[in-house]
A and B are shown apart, each in its own frame.
Chain A
Amino acid sequence: MATLWFWIVAAMIATYVVLDGFDLGAGAIYLFAAKTNDERRRVLRAIGPVWDGNEVWLIAAGGTLYFAFPQLYASSFSGFYLPLMMVLWLLILRGIGIEFRAHIENPVWQDFFDAIFSISSILLAVFFGAALGNVVRGVPLDATGYFFEPLWTNFKLSAHPGILDWYTVLMGGMALVTLTAHGSYYVALKTDQDLGRRARGVALLCWPLQFFLTFSAFVATYFIRPGIMVNYEEYKIGILIPVVVVASLAVMLWANPKGKEKLAFIASSLYITFMLVGAAFALYPVVLAARDHEHDLTIYNTAAGNHGLSVGLIWWMFAAVLALAYFVFVYRMFRGKVQLEEEHY
């Protein structure tokens, strides 16, 4: 039962990163890919009806994590106290940046919210990457199952690491590049003319970086946690994961210059999903690694009671079907290239 919930939560987090990832990425390229007011409005129009729904995946994934693994929620959220609070501030700023920009037709007002939207998107992408880096690298959990990490110590791997060290910064950089590319494919898909061309150009520039960082991340992760290969050796099916990752990288490189935006976007989504699945597959059954492995938090010592988990499965499946239906409906409703209308964004 706990294993099932592990994969449900992992799937929800992956869905969040794929969906909110494209609007974060759109935010990251926003200031330099969209130059005129019309172009900026078109980017906002492309993500406007969906960004809030995308962000709900974070809330829902967080809620589901809380429900299924309360001990993990307690330990990780209190341990990552400072960065999480900053993530909250950034999410708040980003939300009002998107929504409040259009309310006043004044270039100063709009430039201000443009900058807030774009900078907070960039920082959020980096923070999320660094967070994943922390989970993979391990944190200084003690026997009570708690820890507290300062933002940084000496940027080295030590017994007292900070949120930011060379490894988590590397992961943050990879997340930024990945989501920037992902957002560019989305903007290219949803817009045309100069804006669409520029977005494709950004994605093209991202590709070599993304390739290099993916490779570096593999090497660095193996270097700091040689144990990550154990599951891959035990369950041979795992070998498919890097295959899909490499294949989707290849598809992105091929599809983007040909103007096959939808294919490139799908490949980018697959890339993100399988990078995260690969990490989850490697970690399982550990959910938060300790620097000292006997204090690892696993699905077994963090899961909620069995009755709660079984009952939850019933309503979760029901709600997930409904959520899927809303998403299909909304995305169909706002499908196609963005047209500017008189109002909103």
Chain B
Amino acid sequence: MDSALFVHRLHFAFTATFHYLFPQLTMGLALLIVVLKTIGLRRNDPLYHEAARFWGKIFGINFVLGVVTGIPLEFQFGTNWSNFSRFAGGVIGQTLAMEGMFAFFLESSLIGLFLFGEKRLSPKAHWWSAFGVFVGSWLSGYFIIATDAFMQHPVGYYTASDGSLQLASFWDFVLNPWAGWQYAHNMCGAAITGAFIMTSVGAFYLLSGKWTAHARIFVKAGVIAGCLFSVMQLFPTGDRQGKMVTDLQPVTLAAMEGLFHSQAGAPLVIVGQPNEQQGKIDNPLQVPGMLSILSYRRWSANVRGLDAFPKQDWPDNIPLLYYSYHIMVGLGTLFIAVTVVALLLLWRGKLFHARWMLWILMLAAPFPYIANTAGWMTAELGRQPWLVYGLMRTENGYSKLVSAGNGMFTLLGFMGLYMVLGIVGIFLLWREIEHGPAVAAMSNLDPAMEAR
């Protein structure tokens, strides 16, 4: 592999992966904060407002990290992937510009009001600021997904005389069928992260016997939302996303599932290690016929394996793609199991005293991050060897004049800087969690303070 290509790929992969740790919580929490504030307004219950305020503080720290790590991504389209930008910028420039114009302006204006304006605004107006932040962050998600969808399944374009892609139909491009399901799937993933983090902090408080009134709200809201979105993550969104890969990227499906040879009644591999040299799965544990059912809804359907496609069109890192996909699906299944059990306990009124379950819920916090990361790796490794599916290969997209050495220099710079950001971020989040919700509430509700 050309080493400059490798450095540029790693550069984008690293910065994008690190960045997405933050927006998934931003988007998930934004939704849950709106829910908490809505309940608080309707029931006129200060506890819910305090809960929303506490999560607003967590949200604020997380939001800043998301913003500052997000800016490099837009830049890298030009700096590291200039040939790709020249090729596809006439189309995907639309959604990237729209993200800035529609989502970021809305989000950045309202985040100030949401975080600093509670005393200056009426409760209703403050609800609207939270709602606006939610809309902004979810809009932003759509524009990015629409951009990615064009790379996965290009539509609405024509090829201009200079070879570049240009927009032919705005609505075909923006309403790419790939984007719809991928967006739904991705947003369920973000909501799961938000729900699991909220549950985890609540479980931590309950286990340590602190802030228990708030903690019950966190656990209750988190478990209900977590269960709802975990189920939707599998069905319909995950199922439909898989169908789309089956239809539009069949070679990707074969690589994800580790299906080396075409066969009727193809099995679904649950665990096992892909052995590319011998073209088989080592130590397989599989469900016979299941892959045919999932892909084509028939036991006997023929599923095309990797051998049905020319080798130069295979994703270039099959083992990593296979593991990413299996980790995502495996964790997704566990999320359903955990949240369904927790929901049953909640319904029976036993959850807040079931310490074993609270331990599980507390320790579950990192796993949605892993699952979401693995999901994005599945999508993007699965797209390989194409940068724009069927139109431009990844090896033709990077900046030819930016040497591997210069790329490595900035990659190391980002790694160092992001390590510091990560440590500072975890440290500050931990402090907020340790401070707890009631402290946040007191300084806001004290009338003497408001008079200042």
Instruction: Tell me whether B410 and A66 are in contact (CB under 8 A).
Output: no
**When chains A and B are docked, how far (Å) is the Cα of A320 from the Cα of B69?**
25
**When chains A and B are docked, how far (Å) is the Cα of A329 from the Cα of B60?**
21
Q: Is A49 at the interface (CB under 8 A from chain B)?
A: yes
**When chains A and B are docked, how far (Å) is the Cα of A91 from the Cα of B72?**
10
B78 is contacted by which of A74, A96, A320, A342 (Cβ under 8 Å)? A74
Q: A53-B109, A56-B105, A305-B167 are known contacts. Are A146 and B400 too (CB-CB below 8 A)?
A: yes
**When chains A and B are docked, how far (Å) is the Cα of A315 from the Cα of B102?**
9
B105 is contacted by which of A74, A326, A341 (Cβ under 8 Å)? A326
Task: Give the size of the chain B interface in residues (CB under 8 angstroms).
Answer: 72
**When chains A and B are docked, how far (Å) is the Cα of A85 from the Cα of B170?**
32
Q: Is A50 at the interface (CB under 8 A from chain B)?
A: yes
Q: Is A333 at the interface (CB under 8 A from chain B)?
A: yes
Q: Is A344 at the interface (CB under 8 A from chain B)?
A: yes
Instruction: Tell me whether B106 and A77 are in contact (CB under 8 A).
Output: no
* CB within 8 Å of A: which B401-445 residues: 401-403, 406, 409-410, 413-414, 417, 421, 424, 428, 431, 443-444
Within 8 Å CB of B403, what residues of A? 148
Instruction: Tell me whether B111 and A52 are in contact (CB under 8 A).
Output: yes
Instruction: Tell me whether A304 and B82 are in contact (CB under 8 A).
Output: no
B401 is contacted by which of A100, A147, A327 (Cβ under 8 Å)? A147
**When chains A and B are docked, how far (Å) is the Cα of A189 from the Cα of B98?**
33
Q: How large is the interface on A (under 10, 10 to 19, 20 to 34, 35 or more residues)?
A: 35 or more
B368-405 toward A: CB 8 Å interface, digit per residue (1/0)?
00000000000000000000000000000001111100
A interface residues, Cβ below 8 angstroms from B: 48-50, 52-53, 55-56, 58-64, 66-68, 70-71, 73-82, 84-85, 88-89, 91-93, 95-96, 99-100, 103-104, 145-148, 304-305, 307-308, 311-312, 315-316, 319-320, 322-323, 326-327, 329-330, 333-334, 339, 341-344
Which are the 7 A-B pairs with shortest beta-carbon distances? A70-B89, A77-B78, A305-B166, A67-B93, A60-B100, A326-B109, A308-B167
A sample of 30 cross-chain residue pairs with beta-carbon separation below 8 angstroms, ordered by A number, consists of A49-B113, A49-B116, A52-B112, A53-B109, A58-B71, A59-B100, A63-B101, A70-B164, A71-B89, A73-B93, A77-B82, A82-B406, A84-B75, A91-B68, A95-B67, A145-B86, A146-B400, A146-B401, A304-B90, A307-B167, A308-B93, A308-B170, A311-B167, A319-B98, A320-B101, A327-B105, A330-B112, A334-B112, A341-B452, A342-B452
Given known contacts A50-B112, A88-B71, A147-B401, what 10 new A-B pairs fall within 8 Å (CB)?
A49-B112, A56-B104, A74-B399, A81-B80, A88-B75, A95-B67, A96-B64, A104-B428, A322-B105, A323-B101
